[in-house]
Amino acid sequence: MIRPRITGTGSAVPEKVLTNFDLEKMVDTTDEWIVTRTGIRERRIAAEGEYTSTFAIAAAERALAAAGVKAEEIDMIVVGTLTPDFPFPATACIVQQALKATNAFCFDLSAACSGFIYALATAQKFILSGQVKKALVIGAEVLSRIVDWNDRNTCLLFGDGAGAVVLEAQEGENGILSTHMHSDGNYWEILYQKGAGSRNPASHKNVDEGLVYLTMQGNEVFKLAVRSMGEVAMEALEANGLTAADVNLFIPHQANQRIVDSVGKRLGITGERVFVNLDRYGNTSAASIPIALDEAVRAGRLKEGDLLLLDAFGGGLTWGSALVRW
């Protein structure tokens, strides 16, 4: 049986660290308030001259090195992001240029914080179709550029960075067992960026009115995230005749510690079986799962044959899961 298998992981984050104590000097908040409500202690912020592609390229290089795959062997590059370098061309094309991955077709995918799961599922389908043998799947964001640093309800949540995986067609039982994706456009207004698109194009007025920044109804997002992530995780397990007890490692989207805890409790997956790094990076949207996955791999948290569950939720609304036999 041919399965798409993750053969290499990589991640990259900015050097600049913004702590909760730094934020205390910028907005009306405290370290205790942030930690209690989110679990976040610090986040990484891109410096001038650093872009989404900066981190996507670095993460991709590390994933390729880990997999022992040359860039010219890659057939497909897909970048999950809501903060591309430009509206067009795709950030994936900029990554291709830097890597000299001349044989790959490239595109970006927009599914907000579910972007990496959606990108992984897309690459999975291309591999299963036989059209692609080796794919580079990246989640990358520079959210600090679309955050209102005067809005304490949102600015403390987000950070920058990228994670990447190399996906290869291989024979055997190990690899991606299944992926599951859902959307509900009825809730698009609870988490979105108002400006910079065709509805509110770039203008002095829209910048002055703050339309270039993301907005979020936190309480609504929380409730929908917990329910949706729990349901789509169970969907993945049930589709493969497995239960939560079979999961060796659970990597949820790193948005908020209370969401992670609530979803884990619903599933019955807690403690050491849940990988969390949001205390150091905050919510990096599409980058959060691949950054966490790379850290887990390099920390020896996964061994061959382990069952890995990935689970995400984002604006759109979008949500999805992937079940992987490592």
Active site members: 113, 253, 283
DSSP, res 80: E
Burial category of 107 from C-beta neighbours within 10 Å (exposed 0-12, middle 13-18, buried 19 and up): middle
Read off the tokens for 257. 């510690």
Q: Which helix H or strand E contains 168, and what residues bound it? A: strand 160-171
For residues 95 and 81, give the distance between their C-alpha atoms in angstroms, rounded to a whole number: 13
Burial category of 68 from C-beta neighbours within 10 Å (exposed 0-12, middle 13-18, buried 19 and up): exposed
100: left (phi over 0), alpha (psi -120 to 50) or beta: left
- The number of CA neighbours under 13 Å toward the Cβ of 219 is 0
Read off the tokens for 66. 């880990």
**Cα torsion through 216, 82, 23, 33, rounded to 10:** 40
